[in-house]
């Protein structure tokens, strides 16, 4: 039976299996069918994926050299545009909308011969932490279907977790790749802001949004990142110099012992599950025994980062989502005779947007309103600036910063539905990287006594994504599957 371990071994398999891409696609289509109850996919491009696989198989047979992602079966979060395919941001607002162009990331995947197998469920407009804000029902965690997979890229995480594709693209504005990776026991990478073009990514908060990658092997993530990153004339915030993100499939572990920082306040935070805290402290001990320099660094701003994040992102969202008015884009309700233009917009937006999206648009409009702008928006920008300065300082002395990814393991479905504030507060460890633009990754290193996995979050300075991948590779090779809890 087909089984996927890494892109490298898959390509070796293809060398001896003339119809290997077709076998792979059929395998995933069957798995997706068998796991429909998880609701990880909003749409599967079955026929098209099979046709593409057959084309790739015959190109190989004809001796054509293969692309870097030849036949690699990838799914994409439903906020990433794929020409001629629906993209809905899991919202009624965009029901039936078909993309007219490819996101740059998609364009680059296809150019290297990846096969896009479908689009994944997510929280509406990427706003949420449980996938329960989708207009198309929640995605379920494959390890325990009564639990959420996390969000907002929950469908993408489960697609990788449950072996419904090889790799998946999500987006991370405040943790939406790292947090579901933590809940699902896989790797989730958010690169440095600007590493991957945002062209064709449906905007939530543009100065935070970044496409990220889910997978099970660092070398695979590195390969996908190498393919989709780089400058793009369609996104002026995309980094102008392509980082040296090489194929790290032959990663060496011969790097000098890392200098690692952690924030005392993060480990001591009352919201952190005691078992996660204990495990992290044990892990720190282990790192030290193995020669790493691990140092506690004071950080006074922890309680300001979630408020700053929610002020700034809702402000940006209220502006970004104004285009969905039923005229320029999105759902158009039936106008009644005598309706004013305002009534018409209101109807379209009330019918099209779910509760959480409406809440954030209202919050964003409020913090940007003339009377409150300075108290909220300006203040939050100042906090962001302080965080950037603090980050620069930390990375003058350290190679990496570690933190939990999430204060708890995967929530039960419905557990937090009535308490948006509790959910916002659970973003305490992930929003830091988006506020400061640094790269972050969640590594599946730990298991809780409740049976659920949880991750270690590792961050480095901006543009140090290759080092982040190297360190992640080293730590996963050394500590994955090792009982660090004693």
Q: How far apart are CA 82 and CA 84, in angstroms?
A: 6
Q: Choose one: 69-77, 83-91, 171-179, 470-478; the region binding ligand GLN (CB under 6 A).
A: 171-179
CB 456 within 8 A of CB 446: yes
Residue list 147-166, contact with ligand GLN (CB under 6 A): 152
CB 40 within 8 A of CB 120: yes
Minimal distance, residue 206 CB to ligand GLN, in Å: 12
CB 24 within 8 A of CB 71: yes
Quickly list DSSP for 296-316: EE--TTHHHHHHHHHHHHHHH
271 assigned to active site: no
- Contact characters 402-441, ligand GLN, x per CB under 6 A: -------------------------x--------------
DSSP 173: S
Residue from 174, 194, 258, 453 binding ligand GLN (CB under 6 A): 174
Minimal distance, residue 470 CB to ligand GLN, in Å: 25
Q: Choose one: 124-132, 274-282, 285-293, 461-469; the region binding ligand GLN (CB under 6 A).
A: 124-132
Minimal distance, residue 41 CB to ligand GLN, in Å: 19
Catalytic residue among 75, 91, 129, 152: 152
Catalytic residue among 75, 134, 153, 176: 176
Closest to ligand GLN by CB, 175 vs 258, is 175
Determine the distance from the C-alpha atom of residue 259 to the mean position of all C-alpha atoms in its chain, rounded to a whole number.
Answer: 26
Q: How far apart are CA 118 and CA 167, in angstroms?
A: 12
Q: Is 34 left (phi over 0), alpha (psi -120 to 50) or beta?
A: alpha
Confirm or reject binding of residue 126 to ligand GLN (CB under 6 A).
Answer: yes
Confirm or reject binding of residue 128 to ligand GLN (CB under 6 A).
Answer: yes
Closest to ligand GLN by CB, 204 vs 398, is 204
Closest to ligand GLN by CB, 38 vs 181, is 181
26 assigned to active site: no
156 assigned to active site: no
Containing 259, the helix (H) or strand (E) segment is: strand 259-263
Confirm or reject binding of residue 173 to ligand GLN (CB under 6 A).
Answer: yes
Handedness of CA 431, 432, 433, 437 (dihedral sign): positive
Closest to ligand GLN by CB, 152 vs 195, is 152
Q: Which residue is nearest to ligand GLN (CB)?
A: 176
Going by C-beta distance under 8 Å and a sequence separation of 6 or more, which residues neighbour residue 212? Answer: 153, 169, 170, 171, 172, 176, 177, 178, 188, 189, 190, 191
Chain residues binding ligand GLN by CB under 6 A are: 126-129, 152, 171-176, 204, 427
User: Annotated catalytic sites, by residue?
Assistant: 77, 152, 176
């Amino acid at each position: 039976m087909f089984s996927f371990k890494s892109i490298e071994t898959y390509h070796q398999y293809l060398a001896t299996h003339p119809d290997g891409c077709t076998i792979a696609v059929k395998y995933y289509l069957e798995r997706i069918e068998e796991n429909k109850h998880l609701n990880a996919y909003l749409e599967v491009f079955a026929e098209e994926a099979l046709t593409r696989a057959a084309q790739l198989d015959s190109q190989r047979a004809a001796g054509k050299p293969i692309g870097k992602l030849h036949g690699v079966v990838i799914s994409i979060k439903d906020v990433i545009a794929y020409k001629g395919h629906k993209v809905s941001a899991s919202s009624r607002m965009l029901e039936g909308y078909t993309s007219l162009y490819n996101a740059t990331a998609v364009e680059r995947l296809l150019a290297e011969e990846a096969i896009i197998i479908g689009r994944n469920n997510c929280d509406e407009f990427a706003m949420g932490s449980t996938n329960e804000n989708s207009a198309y029902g929640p995605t379920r965690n494959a390890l325990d279907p009564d639990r959420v997979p996390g969000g907002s890229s929950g469908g993408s995480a489960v697609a990788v977790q449950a072996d419904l594709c090889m790799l998946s693209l999500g987006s991370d504005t405040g943790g939406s790749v790292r947090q579901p990776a933590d809940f699902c026991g896989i790797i989730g990478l958010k690169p440095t802001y600007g590493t991957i073009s945002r062209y064709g990514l449906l905007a939530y908060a543009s100065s935070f949004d970044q496409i990220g990658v889910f997978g099970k092997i660092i070398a695979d993530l590195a390969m996908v990142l190498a393919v989709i990153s780089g400058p793009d004339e369609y996104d002026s915030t995309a980094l102008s110099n392509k980082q040296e993100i090489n194929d790290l499939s032959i990663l060496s572990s011969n790097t000098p012992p890392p200098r690692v920082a952690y924030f005392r306040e993060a480990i001591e935070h009352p919201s952190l599950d005691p078992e996660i805290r204990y495990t992290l402290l044990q892990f720190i001990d282990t790192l030290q025994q193995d020669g790493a320099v691990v140092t506690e660094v004071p950080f006074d701003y922890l309680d300001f980062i979630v408020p700053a994040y929610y002020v700034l992102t809702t402000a940006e969202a209220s502006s970004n989502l104004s285009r969905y008015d039923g005229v320029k884009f999105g759902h158009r309700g039936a106008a009644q005779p005598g309706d004013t233009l305002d009534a018409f917009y209101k109807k379209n937006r009330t019918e099209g947007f779910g509760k959480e999206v409406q809440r954030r648009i209202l919050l964003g409009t409020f913090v940007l309103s003339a009377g409150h702008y300075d108290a909220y928006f300006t203040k939050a920008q100042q906090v962001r600036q302080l965080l950037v300065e603090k980050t620069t300082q930390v990375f003058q002395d350290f190679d990496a910063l570690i933190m939990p990814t999430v204060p708890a393991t995967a929530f039960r479905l419905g557990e937090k539905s009535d308490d948006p504030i509790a959910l916002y507060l659970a973003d305490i460890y992930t929003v830091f990287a988006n506020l400061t633009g640094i790269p972050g990754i969640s590594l599946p290193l730990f298991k809780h006594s409740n049976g659920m996995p949880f991750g270690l979050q590792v961050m480095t300075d901006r543009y140090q994504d290759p080092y982040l991948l190297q360190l992640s590779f080293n730590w996963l090779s050394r500590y994955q599957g090792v009982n660090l809890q004693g």
